[in-house]
């Protein structure tokens, strides 16, 4: 799993519980694997706003509009621009 706090510095973690997010922070994701549901619920309990994008075609559209590569970093920047 890859995350960014500013759209520039990217970090990798193995579970949602390792993402350093707290009350008032926002997390944008394109998928919630069933095996990580408990981690997402824990983020919600910590007060993190979790946004799940159901229309994945929007990521592709944002990548094209912002000329972003098809990569984890490009997807994160696309999610942040929606």
**Number of CB atoms found within 10 A of residue 62's CB:** 19
Is 30 in contact with 6 (CB distance < 8 Å)? no
Residue 51: strand, helix, or coil: strand
pLDDT computed for residue 2 by the predictor: 65
Compute the distance between CA of residue 48 and CA of residue 72 in angstroms, rounded to an integer.
Answer: 21
Chain length of the chain: 82
Q: Where are the domains of the chain?
A: 2-81
pTM passes above 0.85: no
Residue with tokens 């520039």: 8
Q: Give me the tens of pLDDT residue by residue for the chain, a chain 82 residues long.
A: 666 666 667 778 888 888 888 899 888 887 788 888 899 999 999 999 988 877 777 778 888 898 888 887 787 788 777 7
Distance CA 39, CA 1 (A): 12
């Amino acid at each position: 799993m890859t995350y960014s706090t500013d759209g520039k510095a990217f970090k990798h973690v193995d579970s949602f519980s390792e993402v350093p997010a707290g009350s008032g922070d926002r997390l944008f994701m394109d998928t919630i694997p069933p095996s990580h549901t408990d981690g997402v619920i824990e983020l919600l309990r910590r007060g993190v706003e979790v946004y799940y994008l159901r229309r994945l075609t929007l990521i592709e559209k944002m990548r094209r509009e912002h000329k972003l590569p098809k990569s984890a970093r490009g997807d994160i920047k696309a999610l942040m621009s929606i």
